[in-house]
């Protein structure tokens, strides 16, 4: 694939993705009054999670589109007298929001399955704090179009542990509860990391591998639609369905 074709494919996908994810968030807001009382707290967590994801990705993919429109991914803007790269600024916005996204997904697991945080869950919260500390260090070089190694890997280790752990917790408890919606969410999180980890490790050496971010992003969209239909369109929770079927 030529560089020009890859650029237009990325731009087209990014614009379509932003329309879809913001449309999903707006639809969730409009349907909030229709959510069943039992699902209210979980639905609000999903709304906040995807609103933050959409906001961060608007910076991430939106700034990439602006950089392309300006003629180069190296395009910089002046903020308070300092030159800041558009791509780097967008990357910083999304790494912040995606971290909070997974923190909210951890809380969603707790609410959905009526769990309490133990040492393991508090350890995961500790990884969130560690990630923010790592992201604040100057070695991140946020002005760089391509994340620097080995720092890109180091700052993503806490997020990877958090995300994979959330997937494990959801799959474990959703399987026990026969909650198919949240089983699918767990699988989609695993799929997203299967696409993301090679990008973290090898995009510096093989730039084309960055195209794996497209299926990774589609996995997040799938999660959004799964939770929307589970919590916003379906007033009966997965556990209630199991109970009703068992008494039928």
What CATH number does the domain containing 210 carry? 1.20.1070.10
Chain segment 16-70, per-residue pLDDT in tens: 989 999 999 999 999 998 888 889 999 999 999 999 999 988 887 777 777 777 7
Number of Cα atoms under 13 Å in the Cβ half of residue 194: 10
Q: Which two tokens stand for residue 15?
A: 């614009």
Helices (H), ranges, the chain:
3-31, 40-69, 86-112, 119-135, 151-177, 180-202, 213-227, 238-247
Q: How far apart are CA 164 and CA 106, in angstroms?
A: 11
**In this structure, what token pair is assigned to residue 91?**
């990357």
pLDDT reported for residue 144: 73
Q: Is 82 a domain residue? A: yes
CA-to-CA dists, residue 87 to 9, 125, 226, angstroms: 17, 28, 30
Give the pLDDT score at 194. 96
Residue 159, domain member (yes or no): yes
* Rounded CA separation 91/133 (Å): 16
CA atoms within 13 A on the CB side of 4: 0
Q: Please tell me whether residue 126 adopts helix, strand or coil conformation.
A: helix
Residue 231 covered by a domain: yes
More confident of the two residues 177 and 85: 177
Instruction: Supply the pLDDT for residue 83.
Output: 63
Percent of the chain's residues with pLDDT above 90: 51
> Inter-axis angle of helices 40-69 and 213-227, to 10 degrees?
150
In contact, 208 and 6? CB cutoff 8 Å:
yes
CA dist., res. 168 & res. 175, Å (int): 11
Would you call the peptide bond into 118 cis, given omega within 30 degrees of 0 as the criterion? no
Here the tokens at position 120 are 């393991």
How many domains, in total, are found in the chain? 1
Assess if residue 244 is contained within a domain.
no
Both tokens of 104, joined, read 């909210």
CA distance 35 to 42: 10
Q: In this structure, is residue 246 part of a structural domain?
A: no
Range of the domain at 136: 3-238
- Cβ neighbours, 10 Å, residue 157: 14
| Three-class HEC string of 195-222 | HHHHHHHHCCCCHHHHHHHHHHHHHHHH
Indicate whether 247 belongs to any domain.
no
Q: Which of the residue ranges 82-91, 138-147, 179-188 has the most confident prediction, judged by mean pLDDT?
A: 179-188
For residue 248, being part of any structural domain is answered with no
Q: Hunting for tokens 């960055």 — which residue is that?
A: 210
**What pTM does this model have?**
0.85
């Amino acid at each position: 694939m030529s560089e020009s074709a890859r650029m237009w494919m990325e731009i087209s996908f990014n614009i379509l993705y932003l329309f879809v994810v913001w449309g999903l968030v707006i639809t969730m807001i409009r349907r909030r009054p229709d959510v069943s009382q039992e699902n209210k707290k979980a639905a609000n967590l999903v709304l906040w999670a995807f609103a933050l994801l959409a906001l961060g990705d608007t910076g991430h993919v939106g700034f990439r589109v602006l950089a392309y429109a300006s003629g180069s991914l190296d395009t910089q803007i002046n903020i308070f007298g300092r030159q800041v790269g558009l791509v780097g600024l967008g990357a910083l916005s999304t790494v912040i929001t995606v971290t909070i996204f997974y923190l909210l997904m951890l809380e969603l697991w707790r609410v959905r399955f009526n769990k309490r945080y133990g040492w393991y869950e508090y350890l995961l919260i500790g990884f969130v704090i560690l990630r923010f500390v790592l992201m604040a260090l100057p070695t991140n070089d946020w002005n760089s179009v391509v994340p620097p190694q080995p720092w890109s890997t180091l700052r993503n280790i806490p997020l990877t542990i958090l995300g994979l752990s959330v997937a494990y917790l959801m799959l474990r408890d959703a399987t026990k509860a026969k909650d198919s919606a949240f089983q699918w969410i767990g699988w989609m999180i695993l799929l997203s990391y299967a696409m993301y980890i090679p990008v973290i490790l090898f995009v510096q050496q093989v730039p084309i591998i960055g195209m794996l971010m497209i299926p990774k992003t589609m996995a997040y969209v799938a999660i959004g639609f799964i939770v929307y239909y589970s919590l916003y369109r379906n007033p009966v929770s997965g556990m209630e369905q199991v109970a009703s079927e068992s008494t039928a």
